[in-house]
Amino acid sequence: MNKTIYRCLLYNGDAAFLLIIIITFGLVIISILGGRELGIPIGIAFPIIIFFFISPLIFKKKIVKYFTSDVILRITETSFIVSKLNKNKNKNTLNIEKIYELNTIDSYSFYVGQKTPIQTILTLHFKNGMPKSFNFIDKQFKDTKSFNEMFKSECLLILFYNQVKQYNTDKVEENKIQFLPSFFATKTGKIIIYLLAALIIAAIVLHLVIAPKSSFATLLISIGLVVGFFSKRKDSLELYKKIKELDKE
């Protein structure tokens, strides 16, 4: 039986985000109530509250490290298996193994970042049940400068794609696992990005008309986010196009 084994990192972004939200807002509420009880001046309390809001950015590396696990991925002819490595003093042992049978998967999508190390987000859409997303950090493949280099390597994306393609070989069309564009490459993603861009432009106009002397800091952050979304859409469209070209080979 053909089987591919791949080692990488898995980042649990959902758990990290939830914990950050709970802790941040908890500290903000405590600081507000505590400030009132102790009579702390707003000039002192306000910087403390701002610090709590930006603290996730300050401690970003530690947060990511805490919610990141070493994993072993096994892609067989019939299943996709995710096993976390439990690090002991003497050796690494497998822990928390989850098996996703390929015949339960309806479709999948990829988002691949081009920063080092490579971030690969794999989303599985099942025939029954909610989709499942994995945020893999591919440390084995560090030196990519373009998708062309990635497609010539044995990175996680290509290995998974090839195994699914092999699985689909003897299947009728309705039983094949379909490849879908990631959110940023869809029409819905495009509409949302353009709506955000329109809102930013409207906010800038209102800012210039109503309060031209006030700070642009918030608007600049929003502009940066929208520019990042356009960049992600461009990368997602390029990736989708290249994988569809592979289907024709």
Q: Are 110 and 183 in contact (CB under 8 A)?
A: no
Tens-digit pLDDT profile for residues 144-181: 555 666 666 677 888 888 888 889 988 888 889 998 88
Q: Which residue has the tokens 């209102």?
A: 206
Tens-digit pLDDT profile for residues 83-120: 888 766 555 666 768 899 999 999 998 887 766 567 78
User: Which residues have a Cβ under 8 Å from the Cβ of 73 and sit 6 or more positions away?
Assistant: 5, 6, 7, 8, 80, 81, 82, 83, 136, 156
- Global pTM reads 0.70
Q: Are 85 and 92 in contact (CB under 8 A)?
A: yes
Q: Which two tokens stand for residue 62?
A: 């530690």
Tens-digit pLDDT profile for residues 212-233: 555 555 566 667 777 778 888 8
10 Å Cβ neighbour count for 93?
11
The torsion defined by the Cα of 44, 48, 49 and 54, in degrees rounded to 10, comes to 140
